Amino acid sequence: MDLDVAQVRAFVCTAEELHFGRAAATLGISQQALSKRIARLESLLRTPLFLRDGRGVSLTGAGQRFLRPARRTLEAADAAVASVTREERPLRVDVWGHLYAPTRTLAQVAGRAGTWVLGHGRDLPSVTDALLDGGVDVAFGRVHPPLRAGLTHRLVRLEPVDAVLGADHPLASEPSLRPDQLSSGVLWAPGPLDRLDFLHRFADRFGVRARTASVNLGLAHFLAGIAEDPRRFALLPADVPLPEVPGLRSVPLVDPTPLYAWSLLWRTGDGHPGLDRLTAACAAEARRSRWLEYDPARDWLPEPPPGSTAQVYPGSTPGGTRADAPAP
């Protein structure tokens, strides 16, 4: 059975739009031509791919199963054409963990890593789906287990975490704090802790029992909530610029210093040449800015590598090409 790439492209576009008119407009063909391509594909596969009724268009079970490999078929076809014509589409990069401003790190390597198209995923599960479905090529954020099969990641940066306190907090005047000094406070989180792996593990490790969830409406709104209760504190990577919220203090955490781990994540075996450029640019910046320093005697990671003693996180020695690294 030989698939027609034009028919597969018509299917994928319609599956993404769930509207024949919009899909036809996206492809630059008539709706009649689109319908014929999909009908021929359904005839070849001997099964309907779409349900069409008065309420709209939806995928059948067969259509849902066909979508992911169909996307990969288009990627392979596009890559084959690009290898001959030397045309290269931009690398599609997604991020998550927006309250912690992941694009701060990417901005430092952007000029050395080719052309990108930047997306804005909601969280690790949604970005993982986009990667496996072929919607994006690489993503950036905090990776934590369990990680789904078919994905590879590489540690890029370990960033110290500060405590953010209101001016009325009993510890606001301290020049630095140990994490366990926050145990009697209230951890102010930008959502339910069962979806915020780093904060959940921090609270468990350092005995913070009181935890309150906010609604994530942006960093300024989130931090304004700290002033409402002098017992509250938040955790932010040290390099995140604080908004203009009166009465906030950012206090370094020491003995140990919590580290927030940023990683690149991509589909195993992805061949986009921009991915090699991006990982190489991140590795070079990590060497220059000492992003990967880790000392188990003074630092804390939710899941430190077993038996690690080196100053640089094991598996993360920067190089010019991609390499696997242990999950932070």
User: What one-character-per-residue DSSP string does 225-263 give?
Assistant: GGGG-TTEEEEEETTSPPPS-TTEEEEEB-SSEEEEEEE
Give 209-249 pLDDT, tens digit per residue. Answer: 999 888 778 888 888 899 888 999 999 999 998 887 788 89
Which residue type occupies 195? R
Is it the case that residue 322 has pLDDT exceeding 50?
no
**Which of 127-131, 155-159, 183-187 comes out lowest in average pLDDT?**
127-131
Closest by CA to 281, choosing from 123, 103, 156, 119, is 156
Residues 262, 102: contact at Cβ < 8 Å? yes
Name 154's bridge partners.
264
pLDDT interval class at 85 (50, 70, 90): low
Q: By three-state DSSP, how is residue 106 classified?
A: helix
- How much is the mean pLDDT over the chain? 84
**Confidence bin at 304 (pLDDT 50/70/90):** low
Whole-number percent of the chain with pLDDT over 70:
89
Exposed, middle or buried: residue 269 (CB in 10 Å: 0-12, 13-18, 19+)? exposed
Q: In 10 A of CB 143, how many CB atoms?
A: 24
Please return the burial class of 55, using the count of CB atoms within 10 Å of its CB with bins 0-12, 13-18 and 19+: exposed
Model confidence at 100: pLDDT above 70:
yes
Residues 6 or more apart whose CB falls under 8 angstroms from that of 227 comprise 166, 167, 168, 245, 246, 247, 248
pLDDT of residue 303: 75
pLDDT computed for residue 309 by the predictor:
38
Both tokens of residue 186?
């209230």
pLDDT given for residue 87 in this prediction: 53
The contacts of residue 129 (CB under 8 Å, 6+ apart) are none
Greater pLDDT, 323 or 94: 94
pTM surpassing 0.75? no
Instruction: Supply 32's token pair.
Output: 């009649």
Q: Output the six-digit token pair for 159.
A: 């960033």
Residue 324 pLDDT grade (very low, low, confident, very high; cuts 50, 70, 90): very low
